[in-house]
Structure 1
Amino acid sequence: PGLANREFVAVNQAERLVLQLANLSTEFPEKYFPVNFLRKQFEDIGLEVYEHKFRFKYPFGYDKPAVEGVNLYAIFRAPRAASTESIVISAPYRSPSNPNGSTLPSIALMYSLAKFFKTKNYWAKDIIYLISGNELLGIQAWLQSYQGLKNRFDQYLESDVLLAKAGAIQAALNLELQSFSPPYVQVKLEGLNGQLPNLDLFNVAVELCNREAVPVVFHGESFYMTENEWENWKRKARTIVSMMATQATMLPTGAHGLFQKYAISAITLEAPDRRAKYVMVNGLQLGRSIEGIVRSLN
């Protein structure tokens, strides 16, 4: 990983799109997002764009209204292959008013990367850009339709048939970037029922972020080493205990965890919207880190 030169530079484009999305978000309820606007953006760069609607009925308490939502996904067909394999880049839609933090920078950076990737001819896998509504519900509904696998619990989550598919999904990268200038990037990998992705995917993400001078954090701990062996040991012990406790809950730490249910290696890159006194990451570093990860998966 990292042998290819990273060439992404269109950060200004992503920053402009964030402002446009922020203005549009005031016109839509939290559970919806400006589908038509985003659809046009992806169509203008020559991608296949589709909507996917879903409906969730509560299994307990039938007096509650059903939750309805929509996903938007765009497909870039690889010029060097016959749509046999694909990579997913996903991001949940959260407006600036969301208490969990806005993900508009994730969507804007995804679009800028999609426009950049479209100009290159070295892709051997299709790339699917997925923007999900209603967080994990949207991802689960889309995966359920894409894989064509349902169990008795899926009767509560109804979704449309996908109008188009790409190749078999080999890996997924979920983006939850709340800012283009975060102090660090946190890598999340725990999935449903304690499942974990291939360790190579985690190592590739850490290596590519390090090459772009992006500080990486895992369970609140960084990867730096000091001369104090005791402090190093304590930090590693805290990481192990934190990871075991997270896996014991059986809950995914992000949308990536639902991909692992279908034997798809996936991780989440999360960047908080917080100012740091000592170091700041910029959009160029984030974009090139993601570019490197996707090219390594390719």
Structure 2
Amino acid sequence: MITAHIMDLGGEVNHHKFLPQFNRFHPLHFFLGPDAGTVPENYSCSSYGINTVGIIRAPRGDGKEAIVLVTPYNSLKITRAEALSMGIAYALFSLLARVTWLSKDIVWLAGDSRHGEYTAVASWLRDYHTASFGDLKHSEICAASNLSEMKTMHNSFRHAGTMAAALVIKVTNRSTEFEKDALTIYAEASNGQMPNLDLINIVNYLAVHGQGYRVKVQKIWSLLNVWWLKSLGQLIEMLGKLAGSLNPQWNFGIPVSEYVECTATLASSLYNQALGVPTGPHGAFRDYQVDAITMEISPKFSSSLNNRQYEILLHVGRLVEGVVRSVNNLLEKFHQSFFLYLLTSPSRFVSVGVYMIAFALLVAPLPLVAASLFSDATKSNPDAEKDKYASKPASTLQPAPTFTSWKWLYAAKQVLVVHLWSAIVTLLPYFVDQIPDSSPTTKLSIWIVLSIITLLFLDSFSGSSFPSTIRSRDTEWILLKSVTVAATFIGLCLMSVINFATAEIGALLLVPMCLTAVPLRLDNKVNTLRALIRGACNVIFIFVGFPVTVFFVLKGALEGFDNMRFGDFWNWAESLWAWNSATYIYMCMVHLPCWVLCIQTLLHRF
């Protein structure tokens, strides 16, 4: 039916067949790119999902650019909301087929979401950008008639220009509980990628000022009722009023409710970017560097969806038409906007030039502390200078250097062994996941036990402890901490290139843990209040810094501690590697080895 309507409008149409992609853990999954995935071996011809793709050629364009409209629907059981989404897209498609101002092609993707909305969009994009179309290599077991049909589809796969932007349109039955209809914008893609900020600004401006929608972005609802956040907001509001009374130009006051809501939105934006998992089917476009968002329209009353279909179609159609006009007039070569930002509301953001300062201030002390610790270790061991040179035979008077002055290499060796162990821990789930009929709790327990055994084996096999020839034992932990801090600094800086939000949260946890780490035996010897507080802080940082603890604390803060299970961490880690999230690499190869090395520092000769 969709095909017939598109052809009646004079558009080009083709069908795209695909199979569900099962993302299983693979050692090199993170480095394989957006087309990673495995196709199931046992399937039938009815397992195929069928996307319908319609294309309008721009009368004023040269076919080099295109705008994509996506409407997911379940072909097996379409809902009223999905039918309304399809109706909105068809109305827009019929309008754009008649206009003369188009300079970019229009592509309408009616995605079959029987295997998931993201799968439908990602499969089409993968075949759009490669030479393989529609998983045809898996159609050999189908009937001959179906095979010939798929060959026809293969030959008729349509392409438009390079995608300039994409909009995913969804209508839901959920009530907004507000006086206005609501539009929720989902923008986060894989590994913290965000679309061009102007795309969000255009949608927000046209929705609020043009169609009267209440525009929302995701927020952490549990933060809205936190007492200390409200108290902080009241303090800032009071200081703002006081400053405004002294000088009217110092008007930085903000109401408490607005401060709390913006903080909850900022925390949600930071968390979603750090998690690295797309918040909607638009995330598949960002893997190909295409700006895309998901627009979810919710009526003010769930029952009004049946009575206000024409009104919703009219308002959403006008909104999307305005966005298409804006993108159609955009010349990207002369365009500049933000791609690295954190949202605090649909119309406000924190740019990278602001929040990178906080990250820089967090990690800046690390190389300085590493150099200072190394210098202190050298000065505190005067015997090393005496042993720096050994006597040669009597026939020569020139001293010969020995390896005693290179004692920091033993600390570097110990750090290297721990990081090698972290690489093994990263790969262990690939083998643990092969165990049949095992629960997430069992898999997580096996993962932890194997990790501990591997660490003990590598430590005993490598002999990474300091040699007995070094006289000053008090410098061992100083050198170990120095190299640990340096390795942590390098890991956080590398992670900031891949996912800045993950590096930001990681720095909040790792920097205090690294800087305060001191052997507990030293604090026990001093027996002062300062030493007691420092020792208690070290124990707390180690406990809170454990990745499993971090997960359960965040999960409890976001969802509550009622239905929490030990195996939830395995499910979470499994979702990270299934979505190719760099957060999994950071957790295993940056955060975990730093945590282990800090424990070794605390327990040094305890």
Tell me the TM-score normalised to structure 1 length.
0.74
Is residue 163 of structure 2 the alignment partner of residue 133 of structure 1? no
Aligned with 2:66: secondary structure?
strand
1:15 corresponding residue in structure 2: none
Which residue of structure 2 aligns with residue 253 of structure 1? 279
Distance 1:45 1:109, change over 3 A: same
Show the 5 A alignment for 1:78-117.
78-94=58-74, 102-117=81-96
Q: Structure 1 residues 266-275 or 71-80, which shifts more?
A: 266-275
**Conservation of the 8 A alpha-carbon contact between 2:169 and 2:294:** yes
Unmatched segments (≥5 aa) in structure 1: 1-36, 222-226
> How many residues are paired up?
252
> For residue 163 of structure 1, what is the aligned residue in structure 2?
157
Q: Secondary structure at the match of 1:282?
A: helix
| Residue of structure 1 in register with 2:189 after alignment | 191
AA aligned opposite 1:246: N
Compared with structure 1, are the counterparts of its residues 96 and 164 closer, same or farther at alpha carbon in structure 2 (3 Å cutoff)? closer
Report the 3-state secondary structure (helix = DSSP H, G, I; strand = E; otherwise coil) of the residue aligned with 2:293: strand
Cα distance in structure 1, aligned partners of 2:295 and 2:88: 13
TM-score normalised per structure 2 = 0.38
Deviations 1:156-184 (A, max 9, x none): 99997562101111110011123699721
Q: Alignment partner of 1:197: what SS?
A: coil
- For the residue of structure 1 that corresponds to 2:17, the secondary structure is strand
What SS does structure 1 have at the residue aligned with 2:160?
Answer: coil
Please state if 1:218 is matched with 2:217: yes
Q: What is the CA-CA distance between 1:48 and the residue it aligns to?
A: 0.5
CA distance in 1, matches of 2:193, 2:319: 25
CA deviations on 1:141-163 (whole Å, 9 max, x unpaired) are: 1101111189xxx9x99997562
8 A Cα contact 2:174 2:301, kept in partner: no
> Partner amino acid for 1:79?
P
Shift in Å at residue 97 of structure 1? 5.2
Within the candidate set 87, 91, 98, 1:119 is matched to 98
1:213 CA displacement? 1.1
Find out whether 1:243 has 2:237 as its counterpart.
no
Offset of residue 116 of structure 1: 1.0
Q: Hey, what's the Cα distance between the residues in 2 that align with 1:293 and 1:259?
A: 17
CA distance in 2, matches of 1:88, 1:63: 32
The code of the aligned residue for 2:316 comes to L
Alpha-carbon RMSD across the aligned residues, in angstroms, is 3.4
Asked if structure 2 preserves the Cα contact closer than 8 Å seen for 1:95 and 1:103, the reply is no
Q: Are the equivalent residues in 2 in contact too, given 1:54–1:157 (CA < 8 A)?
A: no
Cα 1:157–1:204 shift into 2, 3 Å: farther
Check 1:187–1:59 CA distance in 2 against 1; reply closer, same or farther (3 A cut).
closer
Aligned pair 1:142/2:168, yes or no?
Answer: no
| Offset of residue 68 of structure 1 | 1.9
Question: 2: CA distance between counterparts of 1:271 and 1:93?
Answer: 15
Alpha-carbon distance between aligned partners in 2 of 1:234 and 1:58, rounded to the nearest angstrom: 40
State the Cα distance separating 1:249 from its structure 2 match: 2.5
Residue-by-residue CA offset, 1:91-125 (whole Å, 9 max, x unaligned): 111369579x8422111100011111111100000
Higher relative contact order (CA 8 A, sep 6+): 1
Deviation at 1:220, TM superposition (A): 5.1
* 1:15-40 alpha-carbon deviations (Å, 9 max, x no partner): xxxxxxxxxxxxxxxxxxxxxx1110
Looking at structure 2, the residues matched to 55 and 264 of structure 1 have their Cα atoms a distance apart, in angstroms, of 23
DSSP 3-state at the match of 2:287: helix
Check 1:136–1:97 CA distance in 2 against 1; reply closer, same or farther (3 A cut). same
For residue 64 of structure 1, report the CA deviation from its aligned partner: 5.6
- Kept in 1, the 8 Å contact 2:163–2:290? The answer is yes
Aligned counterpart in structure 1 of residue 200 of structure 2, from 199, 202, 207: 202
More strand by share: 1
Task: Please tell me the residue identity of whatever aligns with 1:130.
Answer: L
Separation (CA, whole Å) in 1 of partners of 2:43 and 2:122: 19
Contact 1:56/1:157 (8 A) holds in 2: no
Task: Tell me if structure 1 keeps the 8 A contact 2:13–2:158.
Answer: no
Distance in 2 (alpha carbons) for counterparts of 1:192 and 1:149: 24
Q: Which has the higher helix share?
A: 2
Note the C-alpha offset of 1:246. 1.8
Equivalence for 1:295: 325
Task: Measure the CA separation in 2 of the matches of 1:149 and 1:41.
Answer: 28
Q: In 1, distance between residues paired with 2:183 and 2:286?
A: 21
Structure 2 portions without partners, runs of 5+: 25-37, 140-149, 221-252, 329-606
Instruction: Indicate how the Cα distance of structure 1 residues 97 and 69 shifts in structure 2: closer, same or farther if over 3 A, else same.
Output: closer
Where 1:233 maps in the other structure, the secondary structure is helix
Aligned mates of 2:21, 2:283 — CA distance in 1: 22
* Residue 298 of structure 2 is aligned to residue 272 of structure 1: yes
Structure 1 contact 57–65 (Cα < 8 Å) conserved: no
Give 3-state SS (helix, strand or coil) of 2:49's partner.
strand
Percent identity of the aligned residues?
A: 30
